[in-house]
Amino acid sequence: MMGSDDENAALSSEPLYNPDLLRLDFSQIKTKFDPPISPSEPGEALIVRPLCPADYDKGFVQLLSQLTKVGNISKDQFLRRYTTMKACPNTYYVTVIEDTRSSHIVGSATLIVEQKFIHECAVRGRLEDVVVSDDYRGKQLGKLIIMTITLLAQHLNCYKITLDCKDRMIPLYTGLGYKLEQGGSNYMQIRFDNKKPFKL
């Protein structure tokens, strides 16, 4: 029987989803990598894997702050959100790139799989929260994490994968096979401030 330290270590490394899903066939994609990289061989000392609880201490939240406002997230808050995501099987696929030399998370992206009634109860993928550390730019890791999520969505039988991005990012995504949908590319939103009553 494992002691408490062993149990805690096992729990902290528990992946959000089955890592075997990342055994993806990169030979089928048109995107070229020079030098060649893939989820199984992302570069020296780098690994691509599902998010795990220990990633809070490996800078995952700080990495997200390079993408957008994150706020003050305690370890307890992080672990509660992780547990909530894990309790929704076949839905959340937060995928990270770790530099094993520094034990830091240097890249991340999320695939969210939506269950639909349309298209004969199909599933749709959404690509979210793509970020690569400023210190690791120029290593093709952005392309790698995007194509990893894209192939994962296909492997999970999503009928399509969509994303929202800033105008300056359109060339990157179109270069990776994403297309602006004619007549359907409007991005609309309502942002809620939960500290104030909502008024229309």
Burial of 192 (0-12, 13-18, 19+ CB in 10 A): exposed
- What does the alpha-carbon distance between residue 82 and residue 74 come to, in Å, rounded to a whole number? 12
Per-residue pLDDT, 9: 58
> Domains in the chain: how many in total?
1
Q: What's the confidence (pLDDT) of residue 1? A: 41
C-alpha 185/C-alpha 187 separation (Å) is 6
Instruction: Examine residue 88 and state whether it is found in any structural domain, yes or no.
Output: yes
Asked whether residue 77 is assigned to any structural domain, the reply reads: yes
Handedness of CA 189, 194, 196, 200 (dihedral sign): positive
Calculate Rg over the CA atoms of the chain.
Answer: 18
Domain hosting 111: range is 4-175
pTM of the entire predicted model: 0.91
Specify if 18 maps to a domain.
yes
Quick one: tokens of 36? 């060649």
* CATH code, domain with 65: 3.40.630.30
Which tokens hold the place of 69?
Answer: 């406002």
Is residue 136 a part of any domain in this protein?
A: yes
In a domain, 189, yes or no: no
Whether residue 198 lies inside any domain: the answer is no
For residue 107, being part of any structural domain is answered with yes
Question: Does any domain span residue 180?
Answer: no
The per-residue pLDDT string of the chain (200 residues; one tens digit each, 9 = 90 and over) reads: 444 555 555 568 899 999 999 999 998 888 999 999 999 999 999 999 999 999 999 999 999 999 999 999 999 999 999 999 999 999 999 999 999 999 999 999 999 999 999 999 999 999 999 999 999 999 999 999 999 999 999 999 999 999 999 889 999 999 999 998 887 777 778 888 776 665 66
pLDDT for the residue 2: 47
Q: Which residues are CB-neighbours of 18 under 8 A, at least 6 positions away?
A: 50
